[in-house]
Amino acid sequence: MTRTHTVTDSPLGPLTLVAQDGALCGLYMTAQRHLPDPAGFGPRDAAACREVVAQLRAYFAGELRAFDVPVVLTGTDFQRRVWAALTQIPYGQTRTYGQLAAAIGQPTASRAVGLANGRNPVGIVVPCHRVVGSGGSLTGYGGGTDRKRHLLELEGGRQAAGQLSIL
């Protein structure tokens, strides 16, 4: 297992991208909650995650709606099920924690879904920002609610009245 990392600028501030054997295994924002020890990111390599950087630039420019890069997600079986369900939320749409819990077949596990969502190691690419509280409230986000709002607005997930569109 060989890890390398790179740092790229974004409208959300610097993003640290970690690759493991050529697949994205980490995408971290400055002051992100649940940030792992950077000593595990491996050496800095400007070529690491070149395709991820290109796709992130296209995403932030409004030209990309779905990422197509290899991803390695390390977590519990439950976390990986939640993270897989996140990838099924279409661009520009949101789901509540309860809806996501129901989607994985555990309708009473919305709190556990929220905890797993917060531990997503590759935010943006695995779109945990598309999960909101009941009624559309912007509840916790590992990168902060301002960043979550920015991502949802970028995707057009906010209606003119300022309420989130939950489908």
The model's pLDDT over 108-129, given as tens digits with 9 standing for 90+, comes to 999 999 999 999 999 999 999 9
| Residue 86 sits in the same domain as residue 141 | yes
Which sequence positions are flagged as catalytic?
128
Whether 113 is covered by a domain: the verdict is yes
Higher per-residue confidence, 97 vs 134: 97
pTM: 0.89
42 plus 81 within the same structural domain? no
For residue 134, the domain's CATH number is 1.10.10.10
Buried (b) or exposed (e) across 99-123, using 16+ Cβ within 10 A? bbbbbbeeeebbebbbebbbbbbbb
How many structural domains compose the chain?
2
Same domain, 42 and 93: no
